[in-house]
Amino acid sequence: MKTYLDCLPCLLAQALRAVREVTDDEMVQRQVINAVAKIIPDLPLNLKPPELARQAYRIIAEITGSKDPFHRAKEEANRAVLAIYPRLQKMVQDSEDRLLTACRLAIVGNSMDLGPRFDYGDIESLIDIAMSQIPLAINEYDRFRESLNNCQRIVYLGDNAGEIVFDRLFIEEISHVRKLEITFVVRDSPVINDVTMDDALAVGLDRITGVVSNGSDAPATILHECSLQIQQLYRSADMIISKGQGNYESLEGEAGNIFFLLRVKCPLVARSLGVNVGDCVLRQQLNNV
C-alpha cells in the first residue's frame, strides 16, 4: 500500500504519543517532533507507511535513549489477555465452529494496536464484538478453510503484544483441524507495541509452534529487508496468515497465498479495502507475480 499525504500528520501524532510514553519533559518531546518534522519534506511517498513509521521510532530512540517506549504497555497487554485465556478456550470449545470462533477472536484481537489513533475499549468489549453476530466486512472464511485443507506449511506473521495471545488460541485450533508446519514470525526489535520474541516467549507461543524473528525493525513485513531465512520461509509457504494493518500495508500486492486478518483502524486502509474504520476483515490475496 502506498503512502498518502494524510500519512504525514499521522506520523507526527504517532511520534508525539510514543515520546510521551518515555518522558514528561516537553523540551524532549518538542525535540522529537522537530526532528520528525524535519525529515518529512524528504520522505518519498513511494515508501510504504510502516517504512515511514520506522524512521520516526528510530529518531525517538536516538533522542531519548529508549528503544521500547511501549514496553510496559506491552507487558500489561500480554498479562491481561493471558489472564482470561482459559475463558477464551472454553468459548471456542463451546462454539459450533471452533476454528471460525478462534479466527474471529484473532481478528478482533488486532484492535490492540497503539500506532493508529483508535480506541478499542477494553478486552471485554473486544470479546463482545468477536462473539456477536456482526458479520465480517470481508469474509473469505470458506476460502481460508479450503486453503487450510490443502496446505502443509503456514507462515503466520504476528502483529501486536496482547493480540499474540489470541493468535496462540487460533494456532491451536488450526492444529486441531490439521497437523501442519506453522512458523510464527515476530519483529526483530521493539517498535510501537509490535510483537517481539520476548512477547512470544512470555505467552508460551514457543511451546505450540516454531517462532522466528524477521530480522527487521519495521512495524510490518518489508520482505526485501527481512532475513534470508524469512524470505525463504515466505516463498516456500503454502499459505501466509498476515495479521494487522502494518502487514497489510507492506504486503498488499506481494506474491503468495496471503490471508489478511485485521481490524481496520485507519481511513486510508479502510478506503483501500472498501470497508469502514472499525470493520473486521478476513481477505484472501492470491497473487503469482
pTM exceeds cut of 0.85 = yes
Q: What is the pLDDT of residue 287?
A: 81
Q: Classify 54 as helix, strand or coil.
A: helix
Reply yes or no on whether the pLDDT at 288 is more than 80.
Answer: no
CA gap 169, 93 in Å, rounded? 11
Reply yes or no on whether the pLDDT at 2 is more than 90.
Answer: no
Q: Which CATH superfamily is domain 76-287 in?
A: Uncharacterised protein PF01937, DUF89, domain 3 (3.40.50.10880)
Reply yes or no on whether the pLDDT at 205 is more than 90.
Answer: yes
Residue-wise pLDDT for 135-166, tens only, equals: 999 999 999 999 999 999 999 999 999 999 99
Residues of the chain with pLDDT > 70, as a percent, come to 99
Which residues belong to CATH 3.40.50.10880 in the chain?
76-287
Q: What is the pLDDT of residue 207?
A: 96
202 with 78: CB under 8 angstroms?
yes
Residue-wise pLDDT for 93-133, tens only, equals: 999 999 999 999 999 999 999 887 767 778 888 888 888 87
Sheet of 210-213, strand order: 138-139, 280-287, 256-263, 239-243, 153-157, 181-186, 210-213
CA gap 126, 132 in Å, rounded? 10
Reply yes or no on whether the pLDDT at 289 is more than 70.
Answer: no
Which residues belong to CATH 1.10.8 in the chain?
7-64
Instruction: Classify domain 7-64 by CATH number.
Output: 1.10.8
Lookup: cell for 97: 465452529
Residue-wise pLDDT for 152-203, tens only, equals: 999 999 999 999 999 999 999 999 999 999 999 999 999 999 999 999 999 9
Sign of CA dihedral 170, 173, 178, 179: positive
